[in-house]
Amino acid sequence: MITASPSARLSRPDWREAWRAAITDPVQLLDLVGLPELASRLPADNAGFALRVPRGFAARMRRGDPRDPLLLQVLPQLAELDVVEGFVRDAVGDMDAKTAHGILHKYDGRALLIASGSCAINCRYCFRRHFPYGDEIAAAGQWRDALEHVRNDSSINELILSGGDPLALTTRKLAELTDGLKNVPHVTRLRIHSRLPVVLPERIDDELIDWLASLPLQKVLVLHVNHAREFDASVDDACRRLRDAGVTLLNQAVLLAGINDDVTAQADLAERGFAAGVLPYYLHQLDKVAGAAHFEVPDERATELMIELRNALPGYLVPRLVREVAGEPSKRPVASRAR
Which residues are near ligand SF4 by CB under 6 A?
119, 121-123, 126, 128, 163-165, 195, 224
Closer Cβ to ligand SF4, 286 or 306, answer by number: 286
Closer Cβ to ligand SF4, 101 or 224, answer by number: 224
Neighbours of 337 (CB within 10 A): 9
In angstroms, give the least distance from the CB of 165 to ligand SF4: 5
Closer Cβ to ligand SF4, 105 or 224, answer by number: 224
DSSP for 62-112 reads: PTT-TT-TTHHHHS--GGGG---TT-BSSTT-HHHHEEETTEEEEETTEEE
Closer Cβ to ligand SF4, 289 or 321, answer by number: 289
Assess contact for 223 and 231: CB atoms under 8 A. Answer: no
* Residues in CB range of 192: below 8 A, 6 or more apart: 160, 161, 166, 167, 219, 220, 221, 222
122 vs 110: CA distance, rounded Å: 26
In angstroms, give the least distance from the CB of 199 to ligand SF4: 7
Closer Cβ to ligand SF4, 164 or 280, answer by number: 164
In angstroms, give the least distance from the CB of 143 to ligand SF4: 20
194 vs 238: CA distance, rounded Å: 12
Closer Cβ to ligand SF4, 165 or 205, answer by number: 165
Q: Which of 171, 174, 166, 182 is nearest to 217 (CA)?
A: 182
In angstroms, give the least distance from the CB of 245 to ligand SF4: 22
In angstroms, give the least distance from the CB of 125 to ligand SF4: 7
Burial code (b: 16+ CB inside 10 Å, e: under 16) for 90-121 equals bbbebeeebebbbbbbbeeebbbbbbbbbbbb
| E strand map for the chain | 98-100, 103-107, 110-116, 158-163, 189-193, 218-224, 247-254, 279-284, 320-323, 332-333
242 vs 4: CA distance, rounded Å: 9
In angstroms, give the least distance from the CB of 124 to ligand SF4: 8
Closer Cβ to ligand SF4, 80 or 313, answer by number: 80
In angstroms, give the least distance from the CB of 28 to ligand SF4: 19
Closer Cβ to ligand SF4, 23 or 181, answer by number: 23
In angstroms, give the least distance from the CB of 289 to ligand SF4: 10
In angstroms, give the least distance from the CB of 3 to ligand SF4: 28
Region for 204 from its dihedrals, namely left if φ exceeds 0, alpha if ψ lies in -120 to 50, beta otherwise: beta
Strands 103-107 and 158-163 come out as unpaired
Closer Cβ to ligand SF4, 80 or 165, answer by number: 165
C-alpha pair distances (Å), 294 with each of 42, 174, 246, 321, 323: 15, 36, 39, 19, 17
